[in-house]
Amino acid sequence: MATINIRHGTYYLSTKIGGQWTTKSLYTKDPRIAEDSLAAAQAREMTDRRKSQAARGIVVSFDLAEISGRFIAASQERYRLGQCRLPTAENVAHRTPIILNFLKSLGVVRLDQVSRATVRQFVTTALAHPYRPTTVNQLCALASQLWEFALEDDTLADLYDKNPWAGKKLRPRAYANPKPALTPEEYVLAKEASHKAQPVVRFLVFMGAKTGRRISSLLRLRESDFCAESRTISVYGKGKHELVNLDEEAVQFLLDWPVGESGFYCAQISQPQASARVGEFFKRLRRQHQGKFNKASHHSFRRTAGTALRVAQVDGRVAADALGHSSLHVHERHYVDERARRTGTTLADALRRYEKASIESLAL
């Protein structure tokens, strides 16, 4: 489908002609004129598709299973060509069948049976299952991509309408309370238990505790990203590189860690596999320590880092930058435990103070 983008304040229209994309300037900075031009271009495209398919005698398939199969295959091909990351392709392969099962339970097996009312029923059905609102949002977003894929693939020439999955009002807004951070005692116990875990889990848990970085960033960490002289590592996450300071213990940990020929610190496994292994690590800790590590996961270290920064009374903007958050609102809402809000430097210093609180309580 035709799209618009903006360069230096001027709108450009991109259309697909003869199998090739062509971009031309609209010579306007008015968004209303740009939207009207886009709507006209999309209408022309749809008319041309209908004429072309009628001339070729093509029978349009609305079968959801068939379209979703091609959607999954297309995402895998995009990954093979380097046009998307592996987690994206895996997410499509994992969640698309879930969407189909939900729709099938509503009696929807064809794309032309999907409407705004169907989408609302879909949301209600998904929320009745063990899915948090944010996960339902992701399912709706993926279903929207599936719909757009069908349009681009010329399978909906006789059924062009506004995307029923698009629109913020259809998706429930998530106001769930943030999951708790690890308490100082849990933080110390997790670090100590990591030394007995398998290598991948040991690395992810220890470095997660020391840096508060995402599991996806730690999986990509190479030996070339570490500088022992400056005590820093360069991590990649959310589309940007960040320089993270390390304390002496973390520096020594990386110096002692055996690195294979690939140059990666971790064995190359997928993010879901790594998350599952860390999840099993916390399950064992829950069995060993009754009442502790409730809802703990690798991301708990990130929330713990945010909480430690607040306990250390680090300025909010500085704390957000330390964790790589561009939005202070996101940092405050999702990465600071309520305990820290009531209590009122660097990340390494804050985590040392947080850990010290546990040691002092145990001594008493």
Spatial CA neighbour of 146 closest among 89, 46, 64: 64
Residues 13 and 42 in one domain: yes
- Give the chain's domain count: 3
What's the CA gap between 185 and 358, in Å, rounded?
5
Which CATH number is 311's domain given? Answer: 1.10.443.10
Helices (H), 57-132: 64-80, 86-105, 116-128
Q: Quick check: is 179 in a domain?
A: no
What's the CA gap between 300 and 310, in Å, rounded?
15
Q: In 3-state terms, what secondary structure has residue 118?
A: helix
Task: State the pTM of this model.
Answer: 0.52
Q: Which residue is listed with tokens 């294979």? A: 260
Residues 333 and 267 in one domain: yes
In which domain, by residue range, is 354 found? 184-363
Residues 136 and 17 in one domain: no
What's the CA gap between 123 and 102, in Å, rounded?
9
Say if CB 68 and CB 155 are below 8 A apart. no
Q: Give the pLDDT of the chain (364 residues) as one tens digit per residue.
A: 677 778 777 888 887 766 667 788 887 888 888 888 877 877 777 667 656 655 555 445 678 898 899 899 989 988 888 878 888 889 899 999 999 999 999 998 888 788 888 888 898 888 888 777 778 888 888 888 888 787 765 545 455 557 788 766 676 665 555 567 888 888 888 888 988 889 899 999 998 888 888 888 888 888 888 988 888 888 887 667 788 888 888 899 999 998 888 888 887 788 888 888 999 999 999 999 988 888 888 888 888 888 777 777 777 767 777 777 666 666 665 666 554 444 435 677 777 777 776 655 544 4
Q: Quick check: is 288 in a domain?
A: yes
What's the CA gap between 241 and 235, in Å, rounded?
6
